[in-house]
Structure 1
Amino acid sequence: MDQAGLKTNNRFDAYDTLETRADLEALYEVLSSVKDEESRPAVFTPYALPCNINFEQLQMDGYQGYHYESLQDTYEKLSGQQPEAYAGAWPLWQEGIAKGLLRPQFHGREHLNLKVFEEKLQRRDHDIMCALQNHSYTRIRQQDYPSIGWTAAFSFAQAEELKRFPGILKSGLNAFESVFGYRATAFTPPAQQFHPSLYPVLWENGIQAIDRPLMYKQHLGNGKYKRVFSRTRCDKTTDKATIVRNVVFEPTEDRGVDWVAFTLKQIEAAFRWRKPAIISSHRVNFCGHIDPENRKQGLEALQALLQQIVKRWPDVEFISVGELVKIMQKEQDVSRD
């Protein structure tokens, strides 16, 4: 892909991969090493996608249209293709969930915009053809789509394009249950683009909370936007929750800061305002398949952060997003009584 001229735009292009057995083993070791006052380990809530591009089927079909497969199928396939990296990785996912180290929630069916994908595929766009032939989907240039991100599954140009999304949400939520063994109760959209007219589809299919940025530009269609501010709360009418991640931890991103110290200050601010510290991070921080040093850097910072958290706040509790939502809804019910 480098030789074909596809630019490496960021650390996601450079290092992000489906998590390997070694990635999960190393992550679990760090999460298990630090316990809260209830003797519970630190827990990640991975916003996960239950489906991936089926590259082989696309090729067999002559790249005529989109095909996807389940996450389990992807791991099974990779276990045969790259056993040194992926054999046993899917059982490790299940083990992490059983031990309370991971509690995945819904991030959509796939992390790509189908309009962009299909139109570029039809045109045999250089970037997408090169990526797909290399069993990748990255480094796609953003020309011709000013209001649609190529990774933003639910972004759109015209309002009529929204009609496609309820079916994707329903099939994605059903696929999530099939893959992970339970219904998702929280959702954050890929690249955070999501029209509020789609919220009822989420509520009707078991979602209790949506994760939104503190501030974002909401696309209304035809290139018109409005600025929206969010806060962590329960809606008094629907009893559905909004979650806003108020702490950022990206230890492999060079922002010229000491990430452990910077993140601790954010946690301190959240606790000062009597708010839960909801820490945002990305998988790329803990990936070592392409570069083991990337994983080493991220996990060393994570371990230091967790150790400092329990040292400074001995009464801290580690909970998943799903557990937080239940607490918020319970408090909402109490306030009504």
Structure 2
Amino acid sequence: MFQNFQKKIKKTLLNLPGYHTNRKILVIESDDWGAVRMPSKEIYNEFIKRGIRVDKDPYCRYDSLATAEDLEALFELLMTFKDKNNRNVILTANTIMANPDFEKIEKFGYEKYFYEPFTETLKRKTLTQNSYELWEQGIKSGIFKPQFHGREHLYVKKWMHQLQKNDELTHLAFKMRTYGLTSDVDSSIKVNYMGALNSGLKSDIVSFNQILNEGLEMFENFFGYKSLSFIPTTYTWHPDIEHNLRNNGVQFLQGMVHQRIPLDDDCTFRYKKNNFLGKKSKSELMYLSRNVYFEPSNFKNNFDVVGDALNAIKIAFNCRKPVVISMHRLNFIGAIDESNRNMNLDLLETLLTEVMRIYPTIEFMSSDELGNLIKTEKNG
């Protein structure tokens, strides 16, 4: 009981600063779309067979490229709900634009890095080769709104260095066409490659800016518009990249109230804890901070993920704050374990049904739309 009270107080305090509104606005932010994680159920089983416990990390256990079946099931649910303006639920799909070109890297003896657009990665697998058509349908229907999450979900320099050192597990994962093994999988894994911007070194900032330039250009060419918002991988970035983001048209930074700032090359970090919704960074980028977590794939079965999310939504609305829900891609993926997708979509349906019952004046928005609303009201 006391722990629940503490949790409520903490969430209330985090919702007090920043932008306020009497409108009941709900945004769903979902990261990792387009990124490779676990390539297939067959590869997952091969890891297990070799004694590599990929079942211990939810992202290795469930996450994969979204199949057409995954997207159809998700979109059918999103189309079920309409807000006070007769608008469907919209998923802000934070997208990784490229994945490593494993074959080409191998061909050049791991001496040079190459990447391919995520659409080319989709074409390599039977289950995903037609799924981009579903992306386009979702975008056209107004229920799937891509925003920029990075060129890759990968710290390229560190990954290539470990490949060149012939690190055993890194090479095994490479042979299976992935890079996402973590210490949760095997305690011997000391290097996590998932943080694409996990350095504060000046030379790396230069490299990161080039990567971001290329990724944002790819984004605009693919989707036909600039991404107004950006969510750094693993919520980690150095403020020195922000000016470059602004020059590329980014106006809003998605994430949490807490920001992890690298002080060196992925070893030491400073934690900034005041990225409140509507506030701006020194580079004049506006923070869009998440205040509700709906990540059922990350919790054990006895955790009341719907009840926890509803409590957080109630606190946010009582504090006159928009609800910004964190809901990563892995929750909707059934390629590795179909029950993961089916169970979580049922939970999401329950959550949205309850939200609409309790708050009939709810309004659904994407992240960039919320950012533009806050900017307009502040300038008005």
TM exceeds 0.5? yes
Structure 2 residue identity aligned to 1:67: F
Out of 254, 269, 277, the position equivalent to 1:211 is 254
Out of 113, 130, 142, the position equivalent to 1:66 is 113
What is aligned with 2:41? none
Cα deviation, residue 55, structure 1: 2.1
What is aligned with 1:108? 150
What is aligned with 2:166? 124
Out of 194, 206, 212, the position equivalent to 1:169 is 212
Distance in 2, matches of 1:162 and 1:143, equals 30
Distance in 2, matches of 1:176 and 1:6, equals 35
Cα deviation, residue 180, structure 1: 2.2
> In terms of mean alpha carbon deviation, does 201-210 or 158-167 score higher?
158-167
What is aligned with 1:197? 240
Identity %: 31
Distance in 1, matches of 2:268 and 2:333, equals 37
> In terms of mean alpha carbon deviation, does 211-220 or 162-171 score higher?
211-220
Structure 1 residue identity aligned to 2:134: L
What is aligned with 1:97? 139
> 1:209-288 maps to which residues of 2 (within 5 A)?
209-221=252-264, 224-229=268-273, 230-235=275-280, 240-255=285-300, 256-288=302-334
Residue by residue over 1:218-247, the C-alpha shift from the partner in whole angstroms, topping out at 9 and shown as x without a partner, is 222375543311200143986531011000
What is aligned with 1:47? 94
Residue by residue over 1:28-52, the C-alpha shift from the partner in whole angstroms, topping out at 9 and shown as x without a partner, is 0110011101111111101111111
Distance in 2, matches of 1:19 and 1:193, equals 25
SS in 2 for 1:86: coil
SS in 2 for 1:104: strand
Structure 2 residue identity aligned to 1:185: L
Distance in 2, matches of 1:311 and 1:184, equals 33
Distance in 1, matches of 2:372 and 2:135, equals 24
Distance in 2, matches of 1:237 and 1:116, equals 29
What is aligned with 2:379? 333
Q: Cα gap change, 1:297/1:307 in structure 2, threshold over 3 Å: closer, same or farther?
A: same
Distance in 1, matches of 2:131 and 2:78, equals 17
Residue by residue over 1:183-236, the C-alpha shift from the partner in whole angstroms, topping out at 9 and shown as x without a partner, is 111001111110001100000001010123222442223755433112001439
SS in 2 for 1:168: helix
Which protein has greater RCO, CA pairs closer than 8 Å, 6+ apart? 2
TM-score, length of structure 2 as denominator length: 0.81
What is aligned with 1:76? 123
Out of 146, 151, 166, the position equivalent to 2:194 is 151
Distance in 2, matches of 1:169 and 1:333, equals 29
TM-score, length of structure 1 as denominator length: 0.91
Distance in 2, matches of 1:130 and 1:238, equals 41
Residue by residue over 1:161-200, the C-alpha shift from the partner in whole angstroms, topping out at 9 and shown as x without a partner, is 2221110110010111122222111001111110001100
Q: Does structure 2 conserve the Cα–Cα contact (< 8 Å) formed by 1:239 and 1:329?
A: no
SS in 1 for 2:92: coil
Given the alignment of the two structures, is residue 309 of structure 1 paired with residue 355 of structure 2, yes or no? yes
Q: Between Structure 1 and Structure 2, how many residues are aligned?
A: 328
Structure 2 residue identity aligned to 1:25: E
Distance in 2, matches of 1:186 and 1:297, equals 30
Distance in 2, matches of 1:175 and 1:129, equals 28
Q: Structure 1: any 5+ residue segments left out of the alignment? A: none
Q: Does structure 1 conserve the Cα–Cα contact (< 8 Å) formed by 2:200 and 2:238?
A: no
Distance in 1, matches of 2:123 and 2:147, equals 22
Distance in 1, matches of 2:188 and 2:179, equals 18
Q: Cα gap change, 1:206/1:216 in structure 2, threshold over 3 Å: closer, same or farther?
A: closer
Distance in 2, matches of 1:238 and 1:152, equals 22
Residue by residue over 1:250-283, the C-alpha shift from the partner in whole angstroms, topping out at 9 and shown as x without a partner, is 1223254211111111111111111100000111
Q: Cα gap change, 1:143/1:308 in structure 2, threshold over 3 Å: closer, same or farther?
A: closer
Residue by residue over 1:48-105, the C-alpha shift from the partner in whole angstroms, topping out at 9 and shown as x without a partner, is 1111111222233333322110122122232xxx1xx224211100110111111111
SS in 1 for 2:296: coil
> In terms of mean alpha carbon deviation, does 58-67 or 100-109 score higher?
58-67
**What RMSD, in angstroms, separates the aligned Cα atoms of the two structures?**
2.2
Structure 1 residue identity aligned to 2:176: N
Q: Structure 2: any 5+ residue segments left out of the alignment? A: 1-46
